[in-house]
Structure 1
Amino acid sequence: MGKVNVCVKRSYIVVVTLMGIISALLLGITLFTHGYLYGEEEMEHMLAGMHFMYAISIITLLLSITGVYGACKEKKWALIVFAVGLIPCTVYMFDLERRELGLKPKVAETIRESHLKMLPLSNASVHYIEHLNHMQMELHCCGLDQGYQDWGYNISESCLCIGDSKSPCVAAPENSSLYEHYDHDHDIMIYKEPCLTTMISHTEWGINLAVGIKFGLTLIWTFSIVLCIIILCQLRRKNDKDSPTVIYSPEAKTGNYTILTETAEYS
């Protein structure tokens, strides 16, 4: 069995240990999220994603433990299990990231269509109006597609601009409900940007962030596979110390053959 380079071995152990820590954190976050949202309506839509996170975190955690054991004890079978188990996961993650980036336009269109169905806002349900008011205060926006015009006469107070807001603001129309009990001289300022634009922008940013995190994690997996293969190649290489050394000695004698010769002469 060949000797493993110390730097390669230590680098592999560090990378795989980091991978194991990340997997343990992902498993903990998934368990917490599952318990926090248990029984909620959102849980039905997130169940498939939860199962995927459970599978990935548990598999990579077990492979990390196996890989570290194989490197410390220099066990070929453990390193082979690590590499063979992690290669399909890495290929699947690369393909998943590619598909998620391709789904961004479809996700944006789905969000737009689902919210535009609620127009006009005067006919929207009370539950949706409460959701929209909360969204307007959080995202500093007003309306859905056409801004404050989507509210018609009854512009919601959640559209009012906050003093330290960085979002652009405009003066509210004087014939709106906001001026009914208003006695001051200056205009009432409301958010200019519609919420759909801001919501889609935030969703795309979230997708890019998720894909970026997955891509970074996949790069760590790929690097650990490369180091594992290098260690396996070094273990398969024959060590010079294991081969017997052949030494020539000028004092070697051929006595056995002379005895046979002498015996043949007397016969």
Structure 2
Amino acid sequence: MGKVNVCLKRSYFVVTSLIAIISALLLAITLFSHGYFHDDEEIEHLLTGLRAMYVISIITLLLTIMGLYGACREKQWALIVFAVGMILGCLFMVACEIQGLAVRPQVAQEMRKKYLEMLPLANASENFIEALSDTQMELQCCGLDQGYLDWGYNISESCLCAEEATNPCVAAPRDSVLFEHMVDDQPIMIYKESCLPYLILHEVDTINTALGGILAVTLLWVLSVVLCILILCRLSRKEDTPAVVYSPEAKAGNYTTLADAADYT
């Protein structure tokens, strides 16, 4: 069994320990999310994702522990199990990345369809109106598809332009509810653009961020597999031992006897 280079082993320890920390954090976030959304009405839609996160984090954490044990004790079987498991995990991550890229346009279309079903806003639920009002103030927009026209007469006060607004504003129609308590004839400025494009863009950015995180984790896993394979190659390499050569002279005792020290005195 060959000797593993110290720098190679330390690099493997650092990368594998980092993967273990990420897996532990993912498991903690999953446990927190499960407890937080336990009483939520949409928990059934989240269970599939939560279960997938449980499986990925636990299996990855177990593989990293086995890989670190194999590197410390120089156990080839443990390193082989780690390498095979991480390779399968990398393939799964690549499949998720491809699927995410493929469904990204479909998610935007489904999201647009879902929000357009909420129109007209006069018939929307109170919870949706509150969420939309917060979105309008945060994204500096008004309405969903056709701007403030989606509100009809009852234009929400969350459409009012802030002093530091960066998005374009227009004067609100004078037949809207915003002018009921106005005394002077000063125009009331509201946001011009609708919120739906911003909501879709925000969702797509979230998907892109998630895909970027998956890609970074996959590359980290690939690096750990490469280092593990290098360690396995070093362990499989036989050390060169000097050959033992038989010499008849050594057996015969071909030595020179030293003169007795008394002869020189």
Shared fold (TM-score greater than 0.5)?
A: yes
CA distance in 1, matches of 2:65, 2:168: 52
CA distance in 2, matches of 1:190, 1:64: 55
CA distance in 2, matches of 1:188, 1:126: 25
| Per-residue CA distance 1:19-62 (angstroms, 9 max, x = gap) | 00010011111111111111101322111000011111111111
CA distance in 2, matches of 1:231, 1:79: 8
| Per-residue CA distance 1:121-142 (angstroms, 9 max, x = gap) | 2233333323322322232221
CA distance in 2, matches of 1:172, 1:179: 9
Give the structure 1 partner of residue 58 of structure 2.
58
Give the structure 2 partner of residue 249 of structure 1.
247
Aligned-residue sequence identity (percent) comes to 60
Q: What letter matches 1:79 in structure 2?
A: L
CA distance in 2, matches of 1:34, 1:196: 29
Give the structure 1 partner of residue 259 of structure 2.
none
CA distance in 1, matches of 2:31, 2:173: 49
CA distance in 2, matches of 1:192, 1:215: 38
Aligned length: 252
Give the structure 1 partner of residue 87 of structure 2.
87
Give the structure 2 partner of residue 72 of structure 1.
72
Q: What letter matches 1:59 in structure 2?
A: I
**Using a 3 Å threshold, how does the CA distance of structure 1 residues 253 and 15 change in structure 2: closer, same or farther?**
closer
Q: What letter matches 2:211 in structure 1?
A: V
Give the structure 2 partner of residue 105 of structure 1.
105
Q: TM-score, normalised by structure 1?
A: 0.89
CA distance in 2, matches of 1:133, 1:105: 26
| Two-structure CA RMSD over aligned residues (Å) | 1.7
Shift of 1:246: 2.0
Q: TM-score, normalised by structure 2?
A: 0.90
Give the structure 2 partner of residue 261 of structure 1.
none
SS at match of 1:130: helix
CA distance in 2, matches of 1:148, 1:8: 62
Matched, 1:44 2:44: yes
After superposition, residues 80-159 of structure 1 pair within 5 angstroms as 80-159=80-159
SS at match of 1:251: helix
CA distance in 2, matches of 1:253, 1:34: 79
Runs of 4+ in 1 over 3 A off after TM superposition: none
Shift of 1:185: 4.4
Shift of 1:202: 0.3
Give the structure 1 partner of residue 262 of structure 2.
none
Shift of 1:152: 1.5
Give the structure 2 partner of residue 33 of structure 1.
33
Shift of 1:184: 3.7
CA distance in 2, matches of 1:52, 1:118: 31
Matched, 1:191 2:196: no
Stretches of structure 2 that go unaligned for 5 or more consecutive residues are 253-265
SS at match of 1:60: helix
Q: What letter matches 2:18 in structure 1?
A: L
Shift of 1:248: 4.3
